Amino acid sequence: MNKQWIRLAGGVATVALLAVGCSMSPSMTHAMPGSMAGTATSATKAADLRTGLNALLGEHVYLASAATNAALGGRQAEFEAAAAALDANSVDIAKAIGSVYGADAEKAFLPLWRRHIGFFVDYTVGVATKDKSKQGKAVNDLVGYTEDFGAFLSSANPNLPKTVVADLVKTHVLTLKDVVDAQAAGDPVKANKALRTAYSHMHMIADPLAEAIVKQFSSKYAAQ
């Protein structure tokens, strides 16, 4: 068990905090018929941005829960498959940030993202080993991390107040924590209920992010 999570902490896959992207990755874009491909309105671009963000963040939650559930259950092959898919999702999110804010932002985001991965890994290991001290430290680290993440997004977009972002990410951390707790307790009903809550919360991050980006780049997204 610990060996699996050490590998995950090293960046093999992403387990769990909120993952926040600032645009769609190529895999999330909508291909239109040839006759309409060059006539998409800016309003459509804004809608696609919002849809893409919700898809990426919702996918992150489900893949994260699949990885933690498999790891807690000791199902190695299933864990590796979920972890690989989850890592692909995290790469898409990093690329999404780069597509809006440039390569430097993408490079800065990825190590910041991976730093919080270790904290959530620590929490999951603490749950699996019933180590309350490890769990408590991991939760404190995750809550502290939300401030750093909020500062990062706020520095990129003045329409995203640091405290607002931090609070949204904190809620994401806590809702996903509930999923892991229920999984570890062997309660599938509670785990799936918690998963629905965690998934539903992601639109509360994706929607204001999309709105802030459209506002920041108004000339690109303004209706025509």
Question: Which has the closest alpha carbon to 20: 58, 46, 51?
Answer: 58
pLDDT at 6 over 70: no
- C-alpha 124/C-alpha 122 separation (Å) is 6
Q: What is the pLDDT of residues 30-68, one digit of tens each?
A: 332 333 333 344 568 888 888 998 999 999 899 889 988
pLDDT band of residue 94 (cuts 50, 70, 90) is confident
Residues, the chain = 224
According to DSSP, residue 13 is labeled S
**Alpha carbon distance 200, 33 (integer Å):** 31
Query: Going along the chain, which residue ranges are E strands?
Result: none
Q: Distance between the two ends of the chain, CA-based, in angstroms?
A: 55
Which pLDDT tens digit goes with each residue over 177-199? 999 999 999 999 999 999 999 99
